[in-house]
Structure 1
Amino acid sequence: MAKEIKAIQCPKCGSTQNVEIKPDYFKCLSCDTEYFLDNDDITINHNVNYQQAPQPAPIASPKLASLIIGAILIIFVLFVFLPTLFNKSSKSLSNVLDSSAYRWSDKDCIAYEDGTGMLIIAVMGHREFDNDEHDSRSGNFITFYNALNGKELKSQRLGQFPTKDLDKIKFRMFKNGEVYAIANESILFKVDKSNTQLQEVQPNFFTHHQELEAGIAHIESIGEEYGDGFKLMTNDGKSRFFFPIADSVYTEKAYYAAQNALEIKDARAKVNTYFLFSEHSDDFPDEKIKLMMYTQKDDKGGRNDRPFFQKKEYSDYNGVKHVTDFRQGSDLVISYKDLTPGRLYFAPKVLYGDEKYVLISFNAAAAEKSNTSVQCVSVPDGRIIFTRPFNGEQYFTDEAFRFKNGFVVKKPMSRCL
């Protein structure tokens, strides 16, 4: 019997967003349910399977895993999730982190593996203790935790700052694994992974470059997609870009000129794989957003740039029309492809990518506040490794971290601590 059906709804959640995994077999992109169509009566049958991934990471203690509000993390299949860290309004972590004794403010957190392979969560910010009228215990701290059991490994009180509080904290991990922290956009620290402590970067980190010898008045991290570097203002008013791995300094004009010349990078530079979602096309409004996998040369920790994928139509000098997949940056790209052809994405975001996996988030439908899922996709075949659906719309940063047993995914700090 011919099948006449316009929209296939998930039998569990009712979503029409699905992907066909083989003829007449579908996977719901909202709740991860698998279902198939019966050829005779168009019955939709379903099979729920949440164990598609390899063996899960070790589960934290039941006490820790049961804390939904104020938990350090919750561990899922191949997945570590940072929903809220020491939520101010919650006292539920008193037996794990003693959060009832103090409150965090103006903070950031980061995940990394130490030299032994232990997964660490570092939290840096201002910690204010209750019943501490003279601020004898309150102050600026960095605290290191074992991410899998919530145990505090070390808490380090930091020195004095120009202001009482650390009102701006930003961690950044470079491609070589080094972890930096910027405090109040004026002081640069580096995490000593071997000794689990924070160290202030010494002046000669910058001043061995003549252009930076006046010292640093202002520092901020540039976007990861533009390289492993910092934007600086020196004490004598110079604006510079500094890339520690490449140990190179640029004026603003030279930096943007270098970005424009990235297609002539050092021939010895390694070719790396990156991932981006294409952008909605005004010229082709029905064109689906695609998860693009592309290669370009890595500039050894120096300046970088990225393309923008957006299908568009243009005319050359002779009036001949052409169609391209790029809005800009095609000269940067060596090769590219749609990693998951036929998939439909709403509000998608790349959270992490490497030569084996890409981690993404997306909404189930175009409607506002629709359910968000986080999904791991295999590289280079685009196979779904696992999908973790959430109730309601969720927001994640692009600072996910892959460790030996899974991923750490971070929410914006406005929803943490």
Structure 2
Amino acid sequence: MAKEIKVIKCPQCGSTAKTELKPDFYRCNNCHTEYFLDNDDVTINYNHNFNHNLNLPFNNDSSKKVIKVIALIIGVFIVLTILINVISAIFSPKSVATTSSVYSTGPAPAEETGFSASRYSPDLFIQAGSDAAIAIVAEDRRYKAKSEVQKDGVYIAFYTPGKGLVAEHKVEGTHVSTSDIKFRTFSDGNLYVIANKSTLYVVDKSTLKLTDAGKKFFSAKEELQVGVATIEFVYEDNGDGLILLTNDGKKLYYYPLVQKLYNENKYYEARKGFSSLLPGAKEKVIHVFTRKSSDYPEDKLQLIKIRYKDNGAGPKDVVDNLSWGKDYGGSGIFTDRDPYKKVLFSDYTRQADRILDWKDLTPGRLYFEPEVMFDDGSALLISFKPDANPNSGYKLQQLNSQTGAVEWTVDESKGSEIKRMIRYKNGFIGVTNDEELLQFDAKGKLTSTYKIE
């Protein structure tokens, strides 16, 4: 059948520009649509291939329609994206839109509260009237909330098991550190605090408040009316004394409980010998471990029981460093060829330290890194390692102070050392180097623990 001649137009864009690929098969030169002709009815079939890189002529009606369709699709997509993000922002306050400029602010996070602290030399006492164990510490605080940064600084703080922080006192002044806070219990039973070498406080053990004790103590001596520039405690084995620097530049040693004031020379005389004892001096017993001797390095460490004359609240020089040595009978330069005696106390030392007599409480026993933890004349607690292994843990042990017999022994926690102990509720309570309070009953059983924080 003969073919009817017609103008062949692209069924996609209407263009008559075309390229014949094979008989009756064409490709539109304008939109690259491929199409072919059926015989008889000249039906045009096409395979449309859209070229994304093709720039369509804008004066072509079909091209304009295509652009409008594409624009409509893009517009619908943008509108849907915005609607989805708006809905997400409404129902999810914490979400943030990432494909549009719609953001969710949500509520501001709560400000962190509390403080972090480094602590120094915790001490212990029993609160008057409540029988609660109280730990007093110097702590350097840094508050976490920006609104509380003005509270940063050094504090004298009181903690008790079960309640935590129960009282506090901020130490005023610039350049204060926790090492500038010192605690000392005097023979009157009161706990005294020196803050920044400038103020002497006494702790009210019932209210846990600090009272300025220096004003009362210093007003008793005319020599101190010029004012006191700095205050320090004497060494603990020298008794209940203070080292003062007055505003006129004098260094003095003051024992406020007996109102005795000494210069350098008089102070040395006052703490040595029997002749300088104050009225009311009494006999007292202490226990001291010997230390490694340079003269006899192979000797075992011993627990020595010493009876001596105690000068009460006055100057003293209580033995705290004891070792065996060679006594050549006088002063001078000697060699091993000179005669000597092996002594623990020379005649001079016995006189100067007011020693009446002494004995080895546990003869033959072997000790490693021992220390007396508590000694009140009736109860004696020691801490030691069971052997020479540096990784061995410490043991806490109660001895009979008359016979040296072991009454109980417990293991201390590995890596934790008890630094101080006091009597507490028919037992003892101690504070460790990592600021933990440990309570023991009278048989040495650990009954409770509390972490200072």
Post-superposition shift, 1:413? 7.3
Gaps of 5+ in 2: 1-111, 331-337, 437-451
In structure 1, what is the equivalent of residue 326 of structure 2? 313
Post-superposition shift, 1:355? 1.1
In structure 2, what is the equivalent of residue 29 of structure 1? none
Letter in 2 for 1:256: Y
In structure 2, what is the equivalent of residue 409 of structure 1? 430
* Contact map agreement 1:374 1:387 (CA 8 A) in 2: yes
Give the total of aligned pairs.
315
SS in 2 for 1:286: coil
Alignment partners' CA distance in 2, 1:409 and 1:381: 24
* Among candidates 170, 184, 187, match of residue 199 of structure 2: 187
Alignment partners' CA distance in 1, 2:328 and 2:172: 60
Distance 1:106 1:214, change over 3 A: farther
Post-superposition shift, 1:313? 3.2
* Among candidates 321, 340, 343, match of residue 324 of structure 1: 343
In structure 1, what is the equivalent of residue 443 of structure 2? none
In structure 1, what is the equivalent of residue 156 of structure 2? 142
Structure 1 segments of 4+ aligned residues over 6 angstroms from their partners:
413-417
TM-score (norm 1): 0.67
Alignment of 1:311-390 (within 5 A): 311-316=324-329, 321-326=340-345, 329-331=349-351, 332-390=354-412
Letter in 2 for 1:309: L
Alignment partners' CA distance in 1, 2:167 and 2:434: 20
Alignment partners' CA distance in 1, 2:343 and 2:433: 34
**Percent of residue pairs bearing the same amino acid type:** 29
Post-superposition shift, 1:364? 2.3
- Higher-helix-fraction structure: 2
Post-superposition shift, 1:178? 0.5
Letter in 2 for 1:114: Q
Letter in 2 for 1:409: G
In structure 1, what is the equivalent of residue 288 of structure 2? 276
* Among candidates 128, 149, 162, match of residue 142 of structure 2: 128
Say what the alpha-carbon RMSD is for the aligned residues: 2.9
Distance 1:314 1:205, change over 3 A: closer
Distance 1:361 1:263, change over 3 A: farther
Query: Which structure has the higher relative contact order (CA within 8 Å, separation 6+)?
Result: 1
Gaps of 5+ in 1: 1-98
* Contact map agreement 1:139 1:157 (CA 8 A) in 2: no
Distance 1:303 1:131, change over 3 A: same
* Contact map agreement 2:270 2:276 (CA 8 A) in 1: no
Alignment partners' CA distance in 2, 1:247 and 1:413: 38
Distance 1:199 1:128, change over 3 A: farther
Distance 1:230 1:348, change over 3 A: same
SS in 2 for 1:205: helix
TM-score (norm 2): 0.62
In structure 1, what is the equivalent of residue 242 of structure 2? 230
Alignment partners' CA distance in 1, 2:197 and 2:325: 39
Alignment of 1:297-312 (within 5 A): 297-307=309-319, 308-312=321-325
Alignment of 1:36-185 (within 5 A): 101-105=114-118, 107-116=120-129, 117-133=131-147, 135-146=149-160, 149-152=161-164, 154-158=166-170, 160-163=172-175, 168-185=180-197
* Among candidates 227, 238, 253, match of residue 265 of structure 2: 253
Alignment partners' CA distance in 2, 1:159 and 1:316: 52
Post-superposition shift, 1:395? 4.3
In structure 2, what is the equivalent of residue 62 of structure 1? none
Q: Which has the larger radius of gyration?
A: 2
Alignment partners' CA distance in 1, 2:302 and 2:372: 11
